[in-house]
Structure 1
Amino acid sequence: MKTGAETLSGPRIPAFNERSLLGSLAAIREDRLAFLLAVARQTGDIGSFRVGPVPMLLLNSSELVHAALVEHANDFDKGFIMRRAFRPVLGEGLFSSEGELHRRQRKIMAPAFQPRHIVNYAQTMVEYSERAQQTWRDGATLDVSREMMAVTMSIVGNVLFQTDVLAETDELGGALSLSLAYINYILSSFFPLPLNWPTERNKQTRQALDLLNRRMQKMIDERRASGENGDDFLSILLRARDEDGARMSDQQIKDEALTLFVAGHETTAAALTWTWFLLAQHPDIYQRLQHEVDTVLQGRSPTYADLSQLPYTLQVLKESMRLYPPSIALIRVALRPVKLGPYHLRKGQTIMIVPYTIQRRPDYFPNPEQFDPDHFQAENEAGLPRFAYLPFGAGPRICIGNHFALMEGHLLLATLAQRVSFTLLPGQQIIPDTDKTITIRPKYGLHMQIKRRGRSI
């Protein structure tokens, strides 16, 4: 059954061909990314589809993204479903909060994320990546997805809290995975059971959240007791005051810290995992990357000052995030009637922006399915429409840690590419998974063989 999406006036929005009374629910559950790509290719710049009885609009042009996320940012919020999914885990942190609270918190926290400040964390990022690779035996087989998660979690633990969580990555990682799986359960269920119901899933989720909150509170208490005036993000949050001189409550600090902890390692780990996967499939690009790193670094660890001399390394990272963007989708709900381009939307209309689809438009990226870091060669990148590439979102809610994440990914890629080579083990099913996490990860992990490198120029 094919239905159109009527707007208040203006052109009719193309409708995706749906034959089920439940709309596209089955297709979404089977392969979310493939379905969304099919909608984009069939409907163009904007298309409607249904998830059960819920109508959705997919925006798939840079102009419409700009209209929704920038021009009319205040005409949308994240909506009830997103709040229901994320607030039990992230509370009222930057990702979940809305309106005046979000503006206040972002203003307080923004100075800590300026490039001039995050430069101070470059050495820590390199030290932890060097430490991690030193434990990898030549010829060993590793789940690279798991290893990237461990090293980025350790880095974030240090720069956020000045604590070494390397020994706790299994425990913390397990708690985070359960918490993120709960978010995806809520997002993919019409009638999710409340968290206080005594199901096994809810019991495990509550235990995971309790562990995370206890760790956050312990770090807050220890920092206050020490009287230290550190440069980590937790210290900054504890010192922060708004324009009226008010400090954040412990609960708000925990919410912000947990949000930063989750987002600060999850996205970079996913980006690096897919980067190694793509490099292993394209040895010519891998060789070009390693030649750049070897030539510039001459066997030493990279520094922040080296990054400007490693442009191709950054191109590789950006291209990986084009094909496998960390964020699955940006969802917004219209607070009032709003016009996006020529299209008039009703109050309550849900829109979805999917980097995975918009970053595969052939008019934005020639040969869009091809892994080609030259898409981000300086001249090519300068010619892109402004919102054709949005791995960190856009507008006033753009990821506050985008500079941090790019610097971290750039440094880790350079460090590890110089020390080891990854070879993809044959016979694996490498399937992008969006069911259990808020990022795109390989469903069954990514198993690769390690070959330690000597210095070669």
Structure 2
Amino acid sequence: MAGWLLFCQDLRQGFSHLHQQSDPTDCPIVLPFGSPWLILLEDDHWKFVRSVLSPAFSSGKMRAMVPMIHSCLNRLNENLSAYSKSGNSFEAKSVMGGSYHGIFFPFALPLLEAVGLTVDSKEVTDFFVTMLKETIAERRKQPSPRKDLLQLILDSSVDDLKETLVDKDVDADALKLDKLDRNNKLTDTEVIAQTLLFLIAGFETTSAALAFLAYNLAVYPECQEKLIREIDSTLNGTTPTYENVMTLPYLDMCLSETQRLYPAIRGMTRAAREPVTINGVHIPAQATVLFLGYALQHDETYWPDPEKFDPERWSPEQKAARNPYVFFPFGVGPRNCVGMRLAQMEAKMAAVAMLQKFRFIRAPETEVPLTLKKGPFVQAEYGVWLRVQPRD
């Protein structure tokens, strides 16, 4: 997520240290996949962590991240400008973010390549955990004035949720927050677990959504022109902000249609705490139910001509006539994605910033339709290859 940008400035010295470190065992770190990630927690532990994290994603906190997002978008447009001048094709997902690096970690990839490490290597994960531990310790003593995502998480507490209830789908009374102890704060282990989760999930999904959006606009240029007209007439050349990108209905329609066609994952699971019967189907206690969102979002019962990119599906009239539970790219209910609104804001701001300067067009390598990889994640088998043209 873009809120990490300024926190990442704390990591520059650490990468230099990593380059000099000859023996990884000098800094032994246990990979925290068994630690308390929000998506893996249950019952009261989940309720506590979710309630503490929720205020970090309030509208006010997201507004505080806008200057950091602008820095990311400037670099993104610099990269697109280089491709525009050269006329070369580019793989959209890698340019717009990719795993762990790109516009949100603009300095990380070349440094990792310089020391011969890949983004999924254990040394890199150990490095991030070490730096998080050190940074958390420093900020516990002296909070940072920079409102990056880490600082917002450290600042958040259950009391913030009680006062603001920014996350409308989480009921404070139902969570029995008064019974939760530990001074209403997350432990360091919980903070590290959530920040690594956001690092892995947030960057990958946002960059993929932007790549697929750019692809759809290139393949359907009439939709791209309509979106450009909306952006120009509403923003009149001004910089995208939290407020003005939310006033662009056709942008929201294009993004929703992109997430319908290419959700981040094909499905999600939920476990039944108690036996229940729904529409004549009995689900026993402890049974795991798989919801195939990708299948529902491509079912012609609900979506005529389902493989076509058609933003008009998201007009108020069509939305009102459709079952709302056949579209859930961020999950649904109390356990939906806690960072959903931040991810949407980032994607919208990035789309506006790019389309104010460029048009996406097909490249010789552009595959239509895209071949998707097999597996739980929705990814292009051969990449999303595009070109850009300057608007002026």
Query: TM-score scaled to structure 1, two decimals?
Result: 0.66
> Displacement, 1:374?
0.5
Cα distance in 2, alignment partners of residues 314 and 332 from structure 1:
28
The one-letter code of the counterpart of 2:304 is: P
Check conservation: 1:176, 1:262, Cα contact below 8 A.
no
Check conservation: 1:267, 1:439, Cα contact below 8 A.
no
Check conservation: 1:421, 1:450, Cα contact below 8 A.
yes
Cα 1:215–1:379 shift into 2, 3 Å: farther
Match of 2:89 in 1: 141
Match of 1:432 in 2: 372
Q: CA RMSD in A?
A: 2.8
Residue 350 (structure 2) pairs with residue 412 (structure 1):
yes
> What secondary structure sits across from 1:450 in the alignment?
strand
Check conservation: 2:94, 2:102, Cα contact below 8 A.
no
> Displacement, 1:360?
1.8
Cα distance in 2, alignment partners of residues 230 and 126 from structure 1:
15
> Displacement, 1:317?
0.7
Check conservation: 2:98, 2:204, Cα contact below 8 A.
no
Cα distance in 1, alignment partners of residues 196 and 318 from structure 2:
37
Cα 1:151–1:357 shift into 2, 3 Å: closer
The one-letter code of the counterpart of 2:96 is: M
> Displacement, 1:419?
1.1
Q: How does 1:109-188 map to 2 (within 5 A)?
A: 109-135=53-79, 136-137=81-82, 138=85, 139-149=87-97, 165-169=105-109, 178=120
Pick which of 425-434 and 139-148 moved more: 425-434
Match of 1:387 in 2: 325
Cα 1:239–1:293 shift into 2, 3 Å: closer
Match of 1:212 in 2: 128
* Equivalent residue for 1:285, pick from 205, 223, 237: 223
Cα distance in 1, alignment partners of residues 232 and 246 from structure 2:
15
> What secondary structure sits across from 1:309 in the alignment?
coil
Cα distance in 1, alignment partners of residues 214 and 387 from structure 2:
11
> Displacement, 1:149?
1.3
Share of identical aligned residues, percent? 26
> Displacement, 1:290?
1.5
- Map Cα deviations across residues 43-74 of structure 1 (whole Å, 9 max, x no partner): xxxxxxxxxxxxxxxxxxxxxxxxxxxxxxxx
The one-letter code of the counterpart of 2:62 is: I
> Displacement, 1:389?
1.2
Cα distance in 2, alignment partners of residues 147 and 224 from structure 1:
35
Cα distance in 2, alignment partners of residues 397 and 234 from structure 1:
21
Match of 2:162 in 1: none
* Runs of 4+, deviation exceeding 6 Å: 171-176
Equivalenced residue count is 332
> Displacement, 1:386?
2.2
Query: TM-score scaled to structure 2, two decimals?
Result: 0.76
The one-letter code of the counterpart of 2:353 is: T
Check conservation: 2:293, 2:329, Cα contact below 8 A.
yes
The one-letter code of the counterpart of 1:320 is: T
Check conservation: 2:32, 2:193, Cα contact below 8 A.
no
> Displacement, 1:234?
1.5
Cα distance in 1, alignment partners of residues 99 and 90 from structure 2:
13
Cα distance in 1, alignment partners of residues 377 and 78 from structure 2:
27
Match of 1:273 in 2: 211
- Map Cα deviations across residues 274-327 of structure 1 (whole Å, 9 max, x no partner): 111111111111111122222223333222232243211111111000000112
Q: How does 1:192-231 map to 2 (within 5 A)?
A: 204=121, 206-224=122-140, 226-231=142-147
Cα distance in 1, alignment partners of residues 156 and 55 from structure 2:
10
Cα distance in 1, alignment partners of residues 233 and 100 from structure 2:
26
The one-letter code of the counterpart of 1:318 is: S
Cα 1:443–1:172 shift into 2, 3 Å: farther
Check conservation: 2:231, 2:356, Cα contact below 8 A.
yes
Gaps of 5+ in 1: 1-86, 158-164, 179-203
* Equivalent residue for 1:378, pick from 289, 304, 316: 316
Cα 1:250–1:176 shift into 2, 3 Å: farther
* Equivalent residue for 1:104, pick from 45, 48, 51: 48
> What secondary structure sits across from 1:326 in the alignment?
coil
> Displacement, 1:434?
4.8
> Displacement, 1:241?
4.2
Cα distance in 2, alignment partners of residues 121 and 336 from structure 1:
41
Q: How does 1:76-95 map to 2 (within 5 A)?
A: 89=33, 91-95=35-39
> What secondary structure sits across from 1:433 in the alignment?
coil
* Equivalent residue for 1:351, pick from 286, 289, 300: 289
> Displacement, 1:417?
1.2
The one-letter code of the counterpart of 1:312 is: Y
> Displacement, 1:101?
0.7
Cα distance in 2, alignment partners of residues 175 and 261 from structure 1:
18
Cα 1:241–1:408 shift into 2, 3 Å: closer
Cα distance in 1, alignment partners of residues 188 and 246 from structure 2:
39
Cα 1:101–1:305 shift into 2, 3 Å: same
> What secondary structure sits across from 1:328 in the alignment?
coil
Cα distance in 2, alignment partners of residues 294 and 449 from structure 1:
21
Gaps of 5+ in 2: 1-30, 159-179
Check conservation: 2:330, 2:340, Cα contact below 8 A.
yes
Match of 1:19 in 2: none
> Displacement, 1:121?
2.2
Cα 1:110–1:371 shift into 2, 3 Å: same
Cα 1:323–1:172 shift into 2, 3 Å: farther
Match of 1:47 in 2: none
> Displacement, 1:153?
5.2
